[in-house]
Amino acid sequence: MFELAWTLLIGAVAGGIARYALPGRTPGGLVVSVMVGLAGAFLAAYLGERFGWYRQGEAGGIIMCAVGAIVALAIFRFLSGTTAGSGGRENYDL
Q: Confirm whether 18 is domain-assigned.
A: yes
Q: Residue 92: pLDDT above 70?
A: no
| pLDDT at residue 94 in the model | 45
Torsion of CA 42, 48, 49, 54, to 10 degrees: -130
Closest C-alpha among 2, 1, 37 to residue 16: 37
Give Cα separations from 11 to 3, 79, 80, 94 (angstroms).
Answer: 12, 20, 20, 39
Q: Confirm whether 36 is domain-assigned.
A: yes
What is the per-residue pLDDT across 16-51, written as a single tens digit (0 to 9) for each? 777 777 766 667 777 887 888 888 888 888 888 888
Number of domains in the chain: 1
**Mean of pLDDT over the chain:** 75
Half-sphere exposure for 87 (CA within 13 Å, toward CB) = 15
Share of the chain above pLDDT 70, in %: 79
Q: Confirm whether 92 is domain-assigned.
A: no
pTM: 0.69
| pLDDT at residue 93 in the model | 44
Q: Confirm whether 88 is domain-assigned.
A: no
Q: Confirm whether 8 is domain-assigned.
A: yes
Q: Confirm whether 30 is domain-assigned.
A: yes
- The dihedral region occupied by 77, where left means phi > 0, alpha psi between -120 and 50, and beta the remainder, is alpha
Q: Which domain does 34 fall in, by range?
A: 2-81
